[in-house]
Amino acid sequence: MGKLDELEPKAVMRWFEEISSVPRGSMKEKKITAYIMKFAADRGLACSKDACGNVLVRKPASPGYEKRGALVLQSHMDMVCAKKKGVTHNFECEGLDLWVDGDRIKARGTTLGADNGIGVAYQLAILDDTVAPHPAIEAVFTVGEEIGMVGAVHFNMSQLTGKTMINFDAGGFTEGRIYVGCAGNQHAVLTQKLTYVTRTVGSHAVRITVSGLHGGHSGGDIDKGRGNASVIMGRLMALLLADGSTAVASFESGDTSQENKNGIPSQSAIVACTEDLQKLKDVVSGFEAVLKDELSDVDDGVTLELAERKMLPERVLSYASAHLTSQLLLVLPNGVRSMQRIFPDTPECSCNVGNVEMQGQEAAFYLSVRSCKSSLIDRICDEYRAVAALTDCKLHFDDRLPGWDYDKNSRIKSLVEAEYQKEFGRSPRFKVTHASTECAIFKEQIPDMDIISMGPIIYEEHTPEEYMGIASVGVLWKFVQNVIKEL
């Protein structure tokens, strides 16, 4: 018996539980791809897979719906694979351990993968339904969304005949949120050269860990004021280096096991050598108190732990290298820069310092900037260039992801608004998400594609605290069926 067997809607929950048993980390989606292709073959549905691993399943129109334009459904197969400290879970060969907590579905110790597993489940439920009327369906399942929308970028859009698309990579439908646009995104990596010296100071070696932060999505959570473990690490490093009695041997921030390096880091660590252990303990304790005050009601659980190490490192970073690392983390742009005017509760432009990792003789700083306006992305990128030039660091930009502009004349938006008003007696809260979405790539390649994005309640995406609202899954399922019928 499955853990979700008694939950409604069974037509969706069945598929969500099944795909939760299939490993599907970013660019490791072979098993979920094979699962979907077998699903299609078992039902006699046309199915194809491209070289990147994206899957397209076609379902013919119901009788009487043949002359209506095809409907494109889209979601991504991959998930962020994060786990709590101390949890032993192998995402490459183990499924998720689902459990029900009241009206919430969670996964024990790991991310739930509702982002975007629930989208995949909705699409499978629609493809599996033999009763509900519908136009021709073109269901697209993409790979690598969480590490730069790799699948959508390489998907051949000319395969599609439909000009109307429902994307399921969203959240908050039962709170009135329906998405009609998204921000563009630019990732960058700043690389600092590191120099080492033979340790000459420090009779004690310690590891100082910053933990207890929520972290989160660098778009969806950037306006929540959460602590950034990379920035905090920079502040702590500056305090440790202040009087010359402490040297830094190593540092890191973020979950280095993740493919995605651009989230808001929830943890960081510094290994240091010191002559005065008590003084260092006092510095760490004092800084912890400062952080608890600054982050009260946002990250109440922030903790700085100090653990002594038996072995003293033979070499440490030169003061110049460690000092430059701390200064970079203090000056690199981070956080919300401006808010939108049409949708005033949504950031217009933000930037985030993600993971910071030592890679041999270099330190890599993973950076990202988001905005619905390309010019504002350009402005932050110029700030990155200025920092790199002033500090003699290297700077590499990945391909930019486009934005999806809000269209007040959208046909699917008008239909959804009318259905929502009829069903709930009020208007929905149309929003432009500050996260980047694959919708923008489809829109860029097919300019006349009419798109809307919806999803159930999902919170704490990309973290082991992720959960999905059970009731909201059913409410959206009924609504989507009505919308498809009206199309």
Cβ of 56: how many Cβ atoms within 10 Å?
20
Do residue 407 and residue 482 come from a single domain?
A: yes
Do residue 175 and residue 310 come from a single domain?
A: no
Report the distance separating Cα 97 and Cα 20, nearest Å. Answer: 8
Let me know if residue 95 belongs to a domain: yes
Q: What is the residue type of 262?
A: N
Per-residue model confidence (pLDDT) at position 336: 97
Per-residue model confidence (pLDDT) at position 436: 85
Query: Are the C-beta atoms of 134 and 419 separated by less than 8 Å?
Result: no
Do residue 22 and residue 146 come from a single domain?
A: yes
Let me know if residue 3 belongs to a domain: no
Pairing of strands 347-359, 335-339: antiparallel
Give the model's confidence band at 1: pLDDT under 50 very low, under 70 low, under 90 confident, else very high: low
Let me know if residue 131 belongs to a domain: yes
Contact partners, residue 152, CB within 8 Å, separation at least 6: 54, 76, 142, 145, 438, 441, 442
CA 208 to chain CA mean position, Å:
27
What pTM value is reported for the model?
0.75
Per-residue model confidence (pLDDT) at position 466: 97
Q: What is the residue type of 149?
A: M
* 9 cis-preceded (ω within 30 degrees of 0): yes
- Summarised one tens digit per residue, pLDDT across range 315-344 is 999 999 999 999 999 999 999 999 988 888
End-to-end CA distance of the chain: 37
> Which H/E stretch holds residue 4?
none
CATH code, 250: 3.30.70.360
- Summarised one tens digit per residue, pLDDT across range 230-246 is 999 999 999 999 988 89
Do residue 392 and residue 437 come from a single domain?
A: no
Question: Among 352, 372, 397, which residue terminates a domain?
Answer: 397
**HSE toward the beta carbon, residue 125, CA cutoff 13 A:** 25
**HSE toward the beta carbon, residue 230, CA cutoff 13 A:** 33
Report the distance separating Cα 30 and Cα 47, nearest Å. Answer: 15
Let me know if residue 5 belongs to a domain: no
Do residue 190 and residue 178 come from a single domain?
A: no
Structural domain boundaries, residue 210: 186-397
DSSP state of 404: B
- Summarised one tens digit per residue, pLDDT across range 362-415 is 999 999 999 988 899 999 999 999 999 999 999 999 889 899 988 889 999 999
Report the distance separating Cα 65 and Cα 133, nearest Å. Answer: 8
- In the block, tokens 């979907």 appear at 36
Following DSSP, what letter does each residue of 127-188 receive, concatenated?
HH-SSS----EEEEEES-GGGT-HHHHHS-GGG---SEEEE-----GGGTEEEEEE-EEEEE
Do residue 207 and residue 328 come from a single domain?
A: yes
% helix, strand, coil for the chain, step of 5:
30, 30, 40
> Which H/E stretch holds residue 398?
none
Do residue 173 and residue 304 come from a single domain?
A: no
Do residue 219 and residue 335 come from a single domain?
A: yes
Number of domains into which the chain is organized: 2
- Summarised one tens digit per residue, pLDDT across range 158-206 is 999 999 999 999 999 999 999 999 999 999 999 999 999 999 877 899 9
pLDDT at residue 111 is higher than 70: yes
SS3 486: helix
pLDDT at residue 481 is higher than 70: yes
Question: Among 380, 397, 414, which residue terminates a domain?
Answer: 397
Per-residue model confidence (pLDDT) at position 462: 87
Do residue 152 and residue 174 come from a single domain?
A: yes
Do residue 168 and residue 198 come from a single domain?
A: no
Question: Among 378, 397, 416, which residue terminates a domain?
Answer: 397
Do residue 140 and residue 260 come from a single domain?
A: no
Let me know if residue 449 belongs to a domain: yes
Let me know if residue 2 belongs to a domain: no
Strands (E), 372-422: 394-397
Let me know if residue 272 belongs to a domain: yes
Following DSSP, what letter does each residue of 233-270 receive, concatenated?
HHHHHHHHTTTSSEEEEEEEES-TTSS---SB---EEE
Handedness of CA 240, 241, 242, 244 (dihedral sign): positive
Query: Are the C-beta atoms of 226 and 350 separated by less than 8 Å?
Result: no
> Which H/E stretch holds residue 206?
strand 204-211
CATH code, 128: 3.40.630.10
Do residue 237 and residue 288 come from a single domain?
A: yes
Report the distance separating Cα 59 and Cα 44, nearest Å. Answer: 9
Residues making up the chain, counted from first to last: 487
Give the model's confidence band at 220: pLDDT under 50 very low, under 70 low, under 90 confident, else very high: confident
Handedness of CA 346, 185, 351, 222 (dihedral sign): positive
DSSP state of 92: T
pLDDT at residue 221 is higher than 70: yes
Let me know if residue 254 belongs to a domain: yes
Contact partners, residue 486, CB within 8 Å, separation at least 6: 415, 419
Mean pLDDT (the chain, rounded) = 95
SS3 2: coil
Per-residue model confidence (pLDDT) at position 234: 98
